[in-house]
Amino acid sequence: MHFHTPVMCSQVLNYIVTKKNGIYLDCTLGGGGHSIEIIKKIYPEGLLIGLDQDKEALEFARERLQDYQDRVFLIKGNFRDLKLLLQELGYKQITGILFDLGLSSHQLESKTRGFSFQEDNRLDMRMDLSKETDACFVVNNYSEKDLWELFSKYGEERFSRSIARVIVRERKKGKIKTTSQLAKIVTDVYARHKKNRWRIHPATKVFQALRIEVNNELNILKRALEEAVDVLEEQGRICIISYHSLEDRIAKHTLKDLAKQEHIVLNGYGVKILSKKPIYPSEDEVRENRRARSAKMRVAEKVFSEGVSKR
Ligand SMILES: C[S@@+](CC[C@H](N)C(=O)[O-])C[C@H]1O[C@@H](n2cnc3c(N)ncnc32)[C@H](O)[C@@H]1O
């Protein structure tokens, strides 16, 4: 089964794998595409910890990584809790950490997960299937105001008010249950605004906004990145790959804040940013893997202030 093609894999390896006997944490294991290359590079001296909130991803990656299983730990969990999860495993300091944000191709293309408007699925969009709130709940229960704020904030959708208004009108006639019902509502709103020709499908932004809301993606990101830097060892590296501007903005500003001299003096540690500008995939990679086209990578290295004990 094709699960996912890892993005900017060689750059990730070059940046975060700094020593063979290090401990590496992949916070977004997915199909294990980055993880398998990391473990190949460090096996058997090093150790890899893989984390994902999606049990299907873990099952697939477990199979894929089984030749290295004595040096691999896989955990089902949210990277929001990464510090706690590491403590439970007994690890305090990590050599390299990867966040490859968003969805895997497997999730996006799955006929049952409801992330894509290309197929007619139940409106779900939960990455963690044990959670209760799904996209169907949001669409059918949030107030009109909450919906338009959501579409504006997380989708940067210019017709958010009209779309929210039509959703509330339509759901009075009957529950909006499927991805194609929602996609049609959005497409009709665009058509009414005489936007019949589009570069990206009109429902893209609304679907992005719902996905972010259902999985609480942006609220947890800043804190998770800060915790990740906290658990890095000296000169340990963090690498973040994002696929839309809202995520990239959080990655950029969080690293910038952690790199400020005041932060370093106050907390005893911070980061040195290694990617002054975001790092992009090559043209060849984008040609071969369309998903890579929106990727941006940022990398930083942990530094301590003078005279601080480095644990
Ligand atoms: C882009 S995919 C990673 C693909 C992987 N790097 C590969 O090459 O196969 C992102 C993965 O991160 C997971 N994920 C997203 N947010 C998460 C979170 N807050 N905690 C844990 N896993 C998360 C998703 O379930 C998905 O499997």
In percent, the amount of the chain with pLDDT more than 90 equals: 88
What is the pLDDT at residue 193? 86
The answer, yes or no, to whether any atom of ligand 1 lies below 6 A from the CB of 4, is yes
Measured in angstroms, how far is the CA atom of residue 31 from the centroid of ligand 1? Answer: 8
In percent, the amount of the chain with pLDDT more than 70 equals: 97
Burial classification of residue 151, based on how many CB atoms lie within 10 Å of its CB (0-12 exposed, 13-18 middle, 19 or more buried) = buried
Query: Are the C-beta atoms of residues 59 and 48 closer than 8 Å to each other?
Result: no
Task: Indicate the pTM of the whole model.
Answer: 0.95
What is the pLDDT at residue 118? 79
Asked whether the predicted pLDDT for residue 311 surpasses 60, the reply is no
The answer, yes or no, to whether any atom of ligand 1 lies below 6 A from the CB of 50, is no
The answer, yes or no, to whether any atom of ligand 1 lies below 6 A from the CB of 78, is yes
The answer, yes or no, to whether any atom of ligand 1 lies below 6 A from the CB of 113, is no
- HSE at residue 156, side-chain half, CA atoms within 13 A, is 4
**Cα separation of 103 and 237, whole Å?**
23
Main-chain phi, psi angles of 101, to 5 degrees = -75, 165
- Taking CA atoms only, the protein residue closest to ligand 1 atom 15 is 102
The answer, yes or no, to whether any atom of ligand 1 lies below 6 A from the CB of 6, is yes
What is the pLDDT at residue 292? 96
pLDDT tens-digit map of 81-138 = 999 999 999 998 999 999 999 999 999 888 889 998 877 899 999 999 999 999 999 9
Measured in angstroms, how far is the CA atom of residue 154 from the centroid of ligand 1? Answer: 19
Measured in angstroms, how far is the CA atom of residue 78 from the centroid of ligand 1? Answer: 9
The answer, yes or no, to whether any atom of ligand 1 lies below 6 A from the CB of 46, is no
- Taking CA atoms only, the protein residue closest to ligand 1 atom 2 is 104
What is the pLDDT at residue 142? 98
Could you tell me the pLDDT band of residue 310, with boundaries at 50, 70 and 90? low
What is the pLDDT at residue 51? 98
For residues 203-229, give the mean pLDDT: 96
The answer, yes or no, to whether any atom of ligand 1 lies below 6 A from the CB of 100, is yes
The answer, yes or no, to whether any atom of ligand 1 lies below 6 A from the CB of 126, is no
What is the pLDDT at residue 116? 87
Could you tell me the pLDDT band of residue 153, with boundaries at 50, 70 and 90? very high
The answer, yes or no, to whether any atom of ligand 1 lies below 6 A from the CB of 33, is yes
Asked whether the predicted pLDDT for residue 308 surpasses 60, the reply is yes
pLDDT tens-digit map of 242-290 = 999 999 999 999 999 999 999 999 999 999 999 999 999 999 999 999 9
- Taking CA atoms only, the protein residue closest to ligand 1 atom 13 is 28
Measured in angstroms, how far is the CA atom of residue 136 from the centroid of ligand 1? Answer: 22
pLDDT tens-digit map of 227-251 = 999 999 999 999 999 999 999 999 9
Asked whether the predicted pLDDT for residue 198 surpasses 80, the reply is no
- 3-state class (DSSP) for residue 198: coil
Mutate to test the pocket of ligand 1, among 53, 65, 81, 285 (most ligand atoms within 8 A of CB): 53
Sheet holding 72-76, edge to edge: 72-76, 47-52, 23-26, 94-100, 232-242, 296-304, 269-273
What is the pLDDT at residue 196? 67
**Cα separation of 212 and 218, whole Å?**
7
Measured in angstroms, how far is the CA atom of residue 181 from the centroid of ligand 1? Answer: 27
What is the pLDDT at residue 306? 80
Mutate to test the pocket of ligand 1, among 27, 29, 49 (most ligand atoms within 8 A of CB): 29
Asked whether the predicted pLDDT for residue 195 surpasses 90, the reply is no
Main-chain phi, psi angles of 94, to 5 degrees = -120, 145
Residue of higher predicted confidence among 199 and 173: 173
Could you tell me the pLDDT band of residue 43, with boundaries at 50, 70 and 90? very high
